Amino acid sequence: MAFNSILFERIEDNLKETAALAPPDFLVDLNIDQIISAVTAGLDEYNLKPFFHHPLKTIDAIRYRQEIMQDLENKILLEAIRKFSRKMQKMRRYLGLIERLHFKRHKEGWFLEAIGIYCDAVTGLGRDLSRADLKSRGLSDFRKHVMTCIESSGFTSLSAETERLKHDLSGVKYCLIVRGDRVTVRKHEPENDYSAEVEETFKKFRQGAVEDYRAKLPIRSGMNHVEAAILDFVAELHPELFANLSNYCARNIRFLDGKISVFDREVQFYIAYLDHIARFQREGMKFCYPEISNRDKEVYSCEGFDLALAHKLVSAKTSIVCNDFYLKGRERIFVVSGPNQGGKTTFARTFGQLHYLACLGCPVPGRDARLFLFDRIFAHFEKEENIKNLRGKLQDDLIRIHAILNQATSDSIIILNEVFISTALADAIFLSEKVMKRIRQMDLLCVWVTFIVELASSGGETVSMVSTVVPENPTLRTFKIVRKPADGLAYAISIAEKYGLTYDCLKERVEHESLPHAS
C-alpha cells in the first residue's frame, strides 16, 4: 500500500480539517489537557497538540498507531529516527537562517549546506530502516517510500551534485591583500609558508611545553558588507563555479520530499508519548496496548492510574495508587461513593483518560485493559456560578445535563462528578433517578461520582464502587476504589464535616473547652 502518513493509514482518517477546532471541554475536566501539555513540552516547533485533540474513529486506525508504537519500542530503531529528526531540525535551522541573511551568495552557501544535511539525513534513515525488523504497516510502508526516494534519479542527482559543489567550493583558494582601508582580492599564487621557517629558526629557544597563545576565532553564521564584497570578487575569479551554485539553488528550491517532511513532524507524536511514559516505567508503573471494542461494552482495566496525577506524584517522589475496574453482562454504569478526598474523582478521571488515550492509539496506564471505541465523551464537573447568566447552581446543573443527554448516543461515555449537590437530599435523589433512568435507556457507559447511595442499587446496569479507608483509622484514605455495595457513610461523613461533627472536630472542641481561660 502506498504510504500516506505515519499517523493515518487512510486519507479519510486524516483529521486535518478539524485541526483548527478548539479542543473539547472535557479535556480540562479529566485533566487530559495536563497530560497533553506534559507530553508536548519543549516540542512547540512540531505543533503536536492538534494530534492529541482528536481521537480516532475506527479500530483499524487505532491498531495502525499501536503497531507503530510497538515497533518504536525498539531502542535502536527509535535512536535512528531521533538521529534523523536532529538532522532535519538542523536543516530547518539553516533554512530559517537564510531568511534573515542579506547577501545572495551567502544565502546560497547556507542553502547548499541545508540540502547536504537533508540528503545525509534521508540516506542515513533509509540505511537504518533497511536493517530494522519492522512489524507495523506504517513504518514498513514508509521504509518503501524512503527507499524509492533514495533510489530515484532526482534524489541521486541532487545528492551527487551537492557533494560535488561542496567539494569544489572547499577547494577555492585566493589571495587577500590588505593595505590600510583597501582590500584587494586576486587569484591564488603559490607562496612560501614562512611560518614553518620561523618556527624552525626559533626552535632552539624552546624550553619544555609552553602555553598556546593562538586565539581561536569564533565560527559565525553572519557576514558583513566587507566580507560579502570579498566573496563577490572571489566569485568573479571563479565565475563558472559560482554560476553553477546559483543555478543549483534556483533548480532545487523545492528539494524536500513532502511525505518525508510530514513524517518528520508526525513521528514526534509517538516519540513524545513514549518519552513521557518512560519516566513512569522507570518507576515500575505498567503500560499496555488495550484491546478495543466497538460493540461489546464489557470493559476492564487492571492496575490503571490517573496519568496526570501520576506526573505530579512522580515529581514529588510520592507513590502512585493503582485501581482495577470491570463491567460484565448488562453492567454499564459505575456509581462511585465513599468519603471525600478518597480518590473517587481520580477514579472517574482515570476511566475517561484510559478511553481517550486508547482511542489515540497510545499505550495506556495499567497491566491490561479492554476499552470501548466511543464517539464522544461528555463530562459534568462542578463549575463556579456565572453571575452573568443569572442561573443558580441547580438550574445550571439541569441545563448542562439536559444538553449532554440530548447530544449523547449509545456509543458515548458520560462522566458525572457530584451533580445536584446544591439542593436538598430528597430533590437530589429524585433528579438523579430521572437522569439515571435516561442513561440506562440509552445504554451509555457512565461513571457517576455521588453521595447518593441509592443510585448504586438502581438496576442491573449499575455497579457500586466505594472508596476505602484504613479500618483502624477511618480518617485515613487508602485511595483504593473497590467493587462492593455502598455503605451509606459518604453522605453522613460529608454532613458531619460540614457541621464540624466529625471525631477530630469534636475532639478538638473538647480539648479547647478543657483549657483554662483567663477570667
DSSP per residue, 62-109: HHHHHHHHHHTTSHHHHHHHHHHHHHHHHHHHHHHHHHH---HHHHHH
> Is there a domain that residue 404 lies in?
yes
In this prediction the pTM is 0.86
Q: What residues make up the domain containing 117? A: 11-19+54-169+254-267
Do 451 and 306 share a structural domain?
Answer: yes
Residue 5: C-alpha distances to residues 15, 226, 354 (Å): 12, 47, 25
Q: How far is CA 431 from CA 97, 458, 495, in A?
A: 63, 13, 20
Q: Which of 214, 389, 373 is nearest to 296 (CA)?
A: 373
Say what the pLDDT of residue 21 is.
65
pLDDT reported for residue 233: 76
- Same domain for 263 and 340, yes or no, is no
**Domain annotation covers residue 301:** yes
Pairing verdict, β 300-304 and 323-326 = antiparallel
pLDDT for position 488: 65
Per-residue pLDDT of the chain (519 residues; tens, 9 = 90+): 789 999 998 876 665 545 556 788 899 999 999 999 999 999 999 999 999 999 999 999 999 999 999 999 999 999 999 999 999 999 999 999 988 888 888 899 999 999 999 999 999 999 999 999 999 999 999 999 999 999 999 999 999 999 999 999 988 887 878 888 788 888 877 777 777 788 778 777 776 666 776 666 566 667 788 888 888 778 878 889 989 999 999 999 999 999 999 999 999 999 999 999 999 999 999 999 999 999 999 999 999 999 999 999 998 989 999 999 999 999 999 999 988 888 999 999 999 999 999 999 999 999 999 999 999 999 999 876 555 555 678 888 899 999 999 999 999 999 999 998 888 888 899 999 999 999 999 999 999 999 888 898 888 899 999 998 887 777 788 999 999 998 766 546 656 666 677 777 777 777 777 666 555
Q: Does 247 reside within a domain?
A: no
Q: Is there a contact between 99 and 107 (Cβ–Cβ < 8 Å)?
A: no
Does 337 lie in the same domain as 260? no
Q: What's the number of domains the chain is made of?
A: 2
Residues 329 and 434 occupy one common structural domain: yes
User: Do the domain assignments include residue 463?
Assistant: yes
Q: In sequence order, which residues have a C-beta less than 8 Å from that of residue 335 and are 6 or more positions away?
A: 448, 450, 455, 456, 458, 462, 463, 464, 465, 486
First-to-final CA distance of the chain? 91
* Pair (435, 496) in one structural domain: yes
Whether residue 311 contacts residue 38, with contact meaning beta carbons closer than 8 Å, is answered with yes
341 and 395 inside one domain: yes
Cβ atoms 345, 467 nearer than 8 A: no
The answer to whether residue 366 sits within a structural domain is: yes
pLDDT at site 242: 87
CB-based contact 487:466 (threshold 8 Å): yes
Residues 290 and 263 in one domain: no
Cα–Cα distance for residue pair 137/145, rounded to 1 Å: 12
Cα–Cα distance measured from residue 95 to residue 63, given in angstroms and rounded to the nearest whole number? 36
Looking at the fold, whether 258 and 293 belong to one and the same domain comes out as no
Whether 30 is covered by a domain: the verdict is no
**298 vs 58: CA distance, rounded Å:** 18
Distance CA 93, CA 84 (A): 14
Indicate the SS3 state at residue 267. Answer: helix
Residues 6+ apart with CB under 8 A from 221: 97, 110
Among residues 216, 235, 267, which one ends one of the domains?
267
Is the Cβ–Cβ distance between 451 and 494 less than 8 Å?
Answer: yes
| Size (the chain), residues | 519
The C-alpha cell of 467 is what? 472508596
183: its cell numbers = 582590500
Sheet holding 323-326, edge to edge: 291-293, 368-372, 300-304, 323-326
Which CATH number covers residue 400?
Answer: 3.40.50.300
Whole-angstrom CA distances from 48 to 10, 19, 40, 86, 417 are: 19, 10, 7, 17, 30
- Are residue 334 and residue 450 in the same domain, yes or no? yes
What pLDDT is recorded for position 81?
98
Distance CA 414, CA 297 (A): 14
Are 259 and 334 members of one domain? no
Residue burial 227-262, b: 16+ Cβ < 10 Å; e: rest: eeebbeebbebbeeebebbeebbeebeebbbebbee
The answer as to whether 381 is a domain residue is: yes
The residue type found at 185 is: V
Residues 384 and 447 in one domain: yes
- Mutual angle of helices 104-131 and 75-100, in 10-degree steps: 170
Q: Rounded to an integer, what is the distance from CA 249 to the centroid of its chain? A: 36
Residues 301 and 432 placed together within one structural domain of the fold: yes
How far is Cα 138 from Cα 143, in angstroms, rounded to an integer?
9
Q: Determine, yes or no, domain membership for 370.
A: yes
Identify the CA nearest to 72 among candidates 124, 135, 120. 135
Instruction: Mark which of 234, 267, 300 sits at the end of a domain.
Output: 267
